[in-house]
Structure 1
């Protein structure tokens, strides 16, 4: 959350001359309401079902840069689907998260004690992220352009 995957994803797509897609945006478009509202109105389990299908559809039908929601890797079938793909895990520390999003924005999983919840989420998810990722790119104290370049370098890709 707040790591910059949408911003960096768009930069990467532009630099690679390809399309960009975000599965959270796909879900919002299909449901006609924000992710936070889906969590509140229908619950996390319902959202995770939508997310699983959105990722499956996107991986099958999109050949460009794809940004996944932070919880997508919680699903074993999604992790299996990502195996062998050039997955990039963008990391940041809690201090950077505070600087970027203040941890007080409309993020449904951070509603109470956001700093502690962010740390707990990351502790629970970190090994899943690293399991599916081909490369890990830290984003702390880097501009989105610097992160995009680090991703390109780590994957051995060149701009078009």
Structure 2
């Protein structure tokens, strides 16, 4: 029954809460409680680089995606895939097919926690994807970290 419901959702393009997810991310779950700062800097400053900081917590990992590069005034959302010993996170615009866009790009700090993790070693990979005005629009790996979940 669950598989047929998923197939209907996929056929209707519903996916994860209506999200437009790339190939391979169809089963990813939305990340609740993701935070996004105001614009911190121009995205055109070559001295500023996107960065992943992963901090283990009891049963969770807190992620900071620093200097995330998106359009000005563009709200983002996150999705997670969890497999044995590995967590993949994708951050992308909440609106993948905007009717109009700002004429600038910005740097944001984005925070999130991935909870419900088992004790032990964990590999974390962070990916970013821009809106569908960019073609191709495949996820870009931003960073990776190894953490030990207490």
Q: Which has the higher strand share?
A: 2
- TM-score, normalization by structure 2: 0.29
- TM-score, normalization by structure 1: 0.27
Q: Which has the higher helix share?
A: 1
Higher relative contact order (CA 8 A, sep 6+): 1
